[in-house]
Amino acid sequence: MAQVEGFILRSTDYGENDLILTLLTESWGKIGMMARGAKKTASPLRACTTPFTQAVFQVYGHKMFYVQQGSILNTYRNVRSDLTSTSYAVYAVELMDRVSPDKEPVSGLYALLTWVLESMERGLDPQLCARILEARVLDFVGVMPAWLQCAACHLPLSESPYFSPVLGGPLHQACGYAQPDVMETNLNLPKLIYTFQKIPLERIGNLAVSETARAQISKIFQYLLEEFAGIHLRSRRFLDSMNI
């Protein structure tokens, strides 16, 4: 018997009464667990199986873990009471599910998801939390460009840059003229993205970000995730359809 703390990333029906839970933990990485009888109305495990619930589980087994009992640490009630926050929380756990390797603890991923959910619970803008999560994930999977230098000539940016979907990074205006389908941005955008990527999480508050910058960063990060990292998420399509 062992004890493990984690977030529910996903629950999958197994038979009539059982669930297979996918859990992100700090010490074991992402693991799968069988929760027998968890679908029954009277099951004490039922409340522990909803996505982005944080709980401590007593488990046993080797190749497959089986849940003996669970104790909820946080359900993030404020997040669940708001459709926008809930939608972004579902997006956050689906994204973490995709990038977290099985049974391999990765430094920082658990703390990152903790920060995202706790920040939204305290009332921090969920869209801002999602962009910061994406910036760290893009860095983790190795497709985040160097935002303070041109992706073509590699010199420091000194003017309002373009973003090149072909090169996946910012360009000087002179370099951007020769590239197809570039996006015009301003000089503050790469600095803001760099802040999202590097600032210590405990120092992040409600940053003032214009609607134009929000839309550009969202579009750039989605492109990098989908086209460079190959990550296509159902929850992201839902956010787009709701325009939130």
Write out pLDDT tens, residues 185-238. 888 898 899 999 998 998 887 788 899 999 999 999 999 999 999 999 999 999
pLDDT range class, residue 10, cuts 50, 70, 90: very high
Residue 119 falls within a domain, yes or no?
A: yes
Domain that holds residue 141: 77-145+181-242
Residue 174 lies in a domain: no
Whether the predicted pLDDT of 27 surpasses 90: yes
How many C-beta neighbours within 10 Å does residue 120 have? 26
CA distance 131 to 34: 33
Mean pLDDT for the stretch of residues 84-96: 98
Does one domain contain both 12 and 57?
A: yes
Sheet holding 169-171, edge to edge: 169-171, 162-164, 183-184
* Interacting residues of 41 by C-beta distance below 8 A, sequence separation 6+: none
By CB atoms closer than 10 A (0-12, 13-18, 19+), residue 56 is middle
Helix (H/G/I), strand (E/B), else coil: 52: coil
Same domain, 26 and 82: no
Using the 3D structure, point to which of 74, 98, 122 is the last residue of a domain: 74
% of the chain exceeding 90 in pLDDT: 78
Closest CA to 33 of 43, 42, 9, 52: 9
Domain boundary among the residues 47, 74, 101 is at 74
Query: Same domain, yes or no, for 128 and 199?
Result: yes
| 23 and 97 in a common domain | no
